[in-house]
Amino acid sequence: MPDKRPDGITDYTGPAGGWGALKAVAVSLKAQQIVVRGGQTLLKSNQPDGFDCPSCAWPDPKHTSSFEFCENGAKAVAWESTAKTIGAEFFAKHSVSDIWQQSDHWIEDQGRVTEPLRYNAATDHYEVVSWAEAMRGIGAGLAAVPDPNQAEFYTSGRCSNEAAFLFQLFVRMYGTNNFPDCSNMCHEATSVGLPKSIGIGKGTVSLEDFDHADLILSIGHNPGTNHPRMMATLREVSKRGGKIIVFNPLKERSLERFESPQSVVEMATMSATPIASSYYQVKVGGDAAALKGIAKALVALDEAAKVSGGEPALDHAFIAEHTAGLDEYIADLATTEWADIERSSGLSRSDLEEVALAYSKSKSTICCYGMGVTQHRTGTTNVQQIANLLLLRGNMGKPGAGICPLRGHSNVQGDRTVGITERPMTMLLDNMRDVFGFEPPREHGHSVVESIAAMRDGHAKAIVCLGGNLAIASSDPQACAEGFRNLDLAVHITTKLNRTMLLMAKSTYILPCLGRTELDMQATGQQAVTVEDSMSMVHASRGFLMPPGENVKSEIWIVGEIAKTTFAAKGHSPVAIDWDAYVGDYSLIRDKIEAVFPAFADYNARIRKPGGFHLPNSAAMRQWKTDSGRANFLVTKGVAEDEGAGDPNVMRLTTLRAHDQYNTTVYSLDDRYRGVFGRRDILFMNARDMARLGFEEGDVVDIATALQFARPDRVVQKLMIVRYALPDGCCASYYPETQPLIALEDHDPQSFTPSYKSIPVTVRPAAADMGSDRGVVRAGIVGQKSKQDA
């Protein structure tokens, strides 16, 4: 008899996808009151003449003619093209302190912001202002910052190449490289780690490569939720007999079985395709050890082959021609003990030898990975271990092989390509100087962690956020709240209201912008923008829905206005720029992108071709732009130190996305594939750990940060324990509710990526309410109460 589970918890037994996915699409369209409009919108997403789906960066299929949508893309589009709007009436009715009391879900669900707003501290209300007034205030505020390096300019990866490029032009003319960006919290370990390995900070595969791969290693990503369109690709690989080997502490349903909502046969017969051929539940933070174990076993196979005269397990010709550092790497593998590998990874030597054997038989292997790899103190070196393993068998720059970081936001890769970077290369700055005729700042700027620290410590005076929800997405909401409230000026360019906008600076503005799905009319007519997907394909995106209000402006228009008013207030501009011309015709911006980045040659012509064009990828062509001129094997000594391993009370917490959320946007409180409905106040743990720590499923507990970064307020209260297949000593909970546990200082030292996915915690029976929002996690509230409220 199945045992009784707590409220809202079920055993999910079906495959991922299937009728459940189609039903969920209908529900989210209805909730946003756009059944008809949304249906039309979906038909236009990821089509040659439509808009780029804002949900993820997985590329479009080769033949963009078929109707490709996915459940979570549908939710994202419905959320953006909602019929609900908020304007003067809403903000007159609700004070900021009132709104603060609501859940994050409620706040965003109020709908699209339709008017520029300025905060009035005397009344504690946002008030509608004219665009001219808002811009005068913002320009004066930015001009008043004593040193340009005391201003921060955040971007979230939904903005287009054109908006991002114009933004970085303005900011560099203003005089700083302070570009905190969502990728600092996401794939920065890739951007920092891979250039040293293979000379480029991006993936090397294209979608076609998946047709030729016979082995996919899938490490630390959850495509059924976060890149659902990838499931079609994995299903094809599986159907034609390719192997898929998964490393993930949690059993994720989509990686086990998937029923394609686009396959008539599977839907009619309720059948499903198995995805993973083997599934290894690696310990949280144990990937580097597992990768080293596989490499060590592979080298042993190669040695054995030398003796027996069998097929070598390493690609010696590739290694000799293309790589450097093999001897040091092999020497390190030799001194890394199996006992350490087994302890750190939680996997047995024989498991890892099995993977090595499968790998040695593969002709072409792709390794896909996500946040399970990057969001650790060891993020950068984790990524480099993946590259090492691929290089051992020449799986880089040949058909069907390569490295495939799954990017997050739909244009996070493009924003980086066109200059949003706090550590710019000399070539970028030289080209900016030559093309625009001003001397850009050379000093490196702030990443997310550094900008929050500067705000918290009172060094930064102003921030402009081009999208996102920085204070909630970042680690340490305590520091973020303090930081935002220290500022003289905060500006939020946004589609919707979120909690970051409730952390009041002396002067705070909200500026409503168009989303991807909407018609963008400027002086020369309807405009298209461009984006770059996870596989370096650049293509056009054209919205067609009517904007939610006549005062909602394009991001590009807003950036242009901020630039004009700031330099007017300063009384001078480093160089005369005709901002109105760029805003009036985005193809002029593309001309300049092309002038600064030669890879965009013939930009305007090439985006007219359906599907767009591919940016050249040096590593994919086996050109290694590294210091050694070769692909480098990079050594990380030993295995990740298992902090707290000696203490049986310390658990390692990882933070996850539920199926019904997009980062900090919570669409609903369900997480269907993990069997959770109507609640997010969950701590997943295995039955052995529950028994060992004296808990039962359904118990309500508090979790506190342990060890180095422990602090009395690093506590999340009242989570309910739910049984889940996880390795011993590991637990999991939802992002962003768990942010208060993560210290700003707890990050990868190389890439500054917060270690969102390996937080040492202790678990204890729930104590009395600590008198803060930490007691109401269930409602999705994080952070502190607002000052106005205290």
Residues binding Mo ion (CB under 5 A):
186, 408
Helix (H, G, I), strand (E, B) or coil at 540: strand
Considering CB distances under 5 to 8 angstroms, the limit depending on partner class, which of Mo ion, ligand MGD, none binds residue 282?
ligand MGD
How many contiguous H segments (helices) and E segments (strands) does the chain have?
Answer: 31, 31
Considering CB distances under 5 to 8 angstroms, the limit depending on partner class, which of Mo ion, ligand MGD, none binds residue 370? ligand MGD
Q: Is 512 helix (H, G, I), strand (E, B) or coil?
A: strand
CA 609 vs CA 41, 525, 537, 574: distances in Å: 22, 20, 12, 37
- Whose Cβ is closer to ligand MGD: residue 330's or residue 669's? 669
704: partner contacted, choices Mo ion, ligand MGD, none (Cβ within 5-8 A by kind): none
Q: Which helix (H) or strand (E) holds 338?
A: helix 338-345
CA dihedral 487, 491, 494, 496 (to 10 degrees): 50
| Residue 47 interface partner, choices Mo ion, ligand MGD, none, CB cut-off 5-8 Å depending on type | none
Nearer Cβ to Mo ion (407/674): 407
Q: Smallest gap, in angstroms, from Cβ of residue 692 to ligand MGD?
A: 21
Measured distance CA(452)–CA(721) in Å, rounded: 32
Q: What is the DSSP letter of 146?
A: S
Backbone angles phi, psi at 598, to 5 degrees: -55, -25
Residue (37 or 158) nearer to ligand MGD, CB: 158
The conformational region for residue 135 under phi > 0 = left, psi -120 to 50 = alpha, else beta, is alpha
Q: What φ, ψ does residue 235 adopt, rounded to 5°?
A: -65, -40
Q: Give the CB-side neighbour count of residue 85, counting CA atoms within 13 A.
A: 17
Closest distance between Mo ion and the C-beta of residue 282, in Å? 21
Q: How far is the CB of 76 from ligand MGD (least distance, A)?
A: 7
The least CB distance from residue 367 to ligand MGD, in Å, is 12
Least Cβ distance, residue 513 to ligand MGD (angstroms): 5
Q: Which does 250 bind (CB under 5 to 8 A by kind): Mo ion, ligand MGD, none?
A: ligand MGD
DSSP per-residue letters across 648-689: TT-EEEEEE--TTEETTEES-S-BGGGTB-S---EEEE-HHH
Nearer CB in complex with ligand MGD: 171/324: 171
What percent of the chain is helix, strand and coil (3-state, nearest 5)?
40, 15, 45
Closest separation in Å from C-beta 122 to ligand MGD: 26
Instruction: State the nearest-atom distance from the C-beta of 114 to ligand MGD, in Å.
Output: 14
Question: Using CB distances below 5 to 8 A depending on partner kind, what does residue 453 bind out of ligand MGD, Mo ion, none?
Answer: none
At closest approach, how far in Å is the CB of 376 from Mo ion? 15
**CA atoms of 603 and 614, how far apart (whole Å):** 11
661 binds, among Mo ion, ligand MGD, none (CB under 5 to 8 A by kind): ligand MGD
Query: 260 touches which of Mo ion, ligand MGD, none (CB within 5 to 8 A by kind)?
Result: none
Do 107 and 499 touch, CB atoms closer than 8 A? Answer: yes
Q: Residue 142 half-sphere exposure, CB side, CA atoms within 13 Å?
A: 31
Nearer to ligand MGD, 219 or 650 (CB): 219
Cβ atoms of 161 and 531 within 8 Å: the answer is: yes
Residues that bind ligand MGD (CB under 6 A): 55-56, 72, 108, 156, 158, 182, 185-186, 219-222, 225-226, 247-250, 252, 282, 284-285, 287, 370-372, 375, 406, 408-409, 466-470, 473, 493-496, 498, 513, 515, 555, 654-657, 661-665, 735-736, 738-739, 756-757
Token look-up 């989570």 returns 719
**Letter for the amino acid at 508?**
T
Residue 699's binding partner out of ligand MGD, Mo ion, none, with CB under 5 to 8 Å set by partner kind: none
Q: Least distance (Å) from Mo ion to the CB of residue 232?
A: 22
* Residue 415 or 699 with smaller CB distance to Mo ion: 415
Q: Which is nearer to Mo ion, 408 or 414 (CB)?
A: 408
Q: How does DSSP assign 98-110, residue by residue?
A: HHHHS-HHHHHHT
Among residues 600 and 724, whose Cβ is nearest to ligand MGD? 724
Whose Cβ is closer to ligand MGD: residue 232's or residue 330's?
232
Find the shortest distance in angstroms from Cβ 429 to ligand MGD. 26
Q: Omega of the bond prior to 477 within 30 degrees of 0, cis?
A: no
Shorter beta-carbon distance to Mo ion: residue 141 or 405: 405
**Residue 662 contacts which entry, ligand MGD, Mo ion, none (Cβ below 5-8 A, type-dependent):** ligand MGD
What 3-state class would DSSP assign to 219? strand
Longest Cα pair distance anywhere in the chain, in angstroms? Answer: 83
